[in-house]
Amino acid sequence: MSLNEKSKTESLSYWQDVRKRFFSNKVSIAGLAILVFLIVMAIFGPLMSSYEYDELTPEILVGPFSPGHILGTDDLGRDIFVRVTNGIRLSMTVAIVVTLTIKKRGRPTKAEVAAREAVAHASDNMTDAELLTDVQDRFTTLEELTRGAIDGTVRAVTVSGAPGVGKTYTVERILEAAGETRNTKYEVVHGAISPVNLYKLGYRNRHSGSVVVLDDADSIFQDEEALNILKALCDSSPVSSVS
């Protein structure tokens, strides 16, 4: 069997790879077991006792495994087991409600998952030389877009990819060279940034020829105000306003 045929046979889809990695990790399996146990306790725990979570009983500070009280009682005679299981149920309910109602920013769509799988399968069929050429082409494109941002022909560039491959280094290297030869003004922000600081950043670099780099600033996409400010900064119209 050739190397290409073997890679095709062993190639996995995105979710198959996730499932394989998850179940090959003992810590993940242990976490899943704990989660299942908590869910079972949240559903059936309060039904295993005849007491309510706020019910006062004459048995005050009874120890664990006492008759009628699996975990004993507190200083007011309330059953600790019922209170713990009700607390688990409340926490689980809040977690589920928040998960179902939270905005879906940052979650991969079906189209994105399909695109990742297509890229993965395409990479499986490429030789080492072809992969190297593909990477070089991508960084050449990044360099051209960065120079376009410096020249003003490109309004905004979004770069994504695996960490530690040199994306930020490539952009900063070109900006440093432009700053030395053309006095290009640029500012780089690493990490999270608040809406107020994002506005200040845009104001400081409002003049033509200024370049702003936001590195690992994913927090912007989780904040509606910051996202609106970013949209205004990237607007291609002659005049942009933020209210």
Q: What is the pLDDT of residue 103?
A: 55
Residue 5 has a pLDDT of 47
Q: Average of pLDDT values for 177-185?
A: 83
Determine the number of helices (DSSP H) and then strands (DSSP E) in the chain.
9, 2
Q: What is the pLDDT of residues 8-62, one digit of tens each?
A: 445 667 788 888 888 888 898 999 999 899 888 888 887 887 788 778 888 878 8
Cβ atoms within 10 Å, residue 53: 18
Cα–Cα dist 24/121, whole Å: 22
pLDDT computed for residue 186 by the predictor: 85
The pLDDT value recorded for residue 42 is 86
Predicted confidence at residue 33, as pLDDT, reads 92
**What is each CA distance from 2 to 123, 126, 127, 171, in whole angstroms?**
16, 13, 12, 39
Average pLDDT over residues 192-215: 86
* pLDDT (tens digit per residue) in 54-107: 788 888 788 887 887 878 888 888 888 888 888 888 888 888 888 777 655 556
pLDDT in tens, 112-160: 667 667 666 666 677 778 778 888 888 899 889 888 888 888 888 888 7
Which tokens go with 234?
């990237």
Residue 109 has a pLDDT of 63
How far apart are the C-alpha atoms of 77 and 83, rounded to whole Å?
Answer: 12
Residue 238 has pLDDT above 50, yes or no: yes
pLDDT at 240: 64
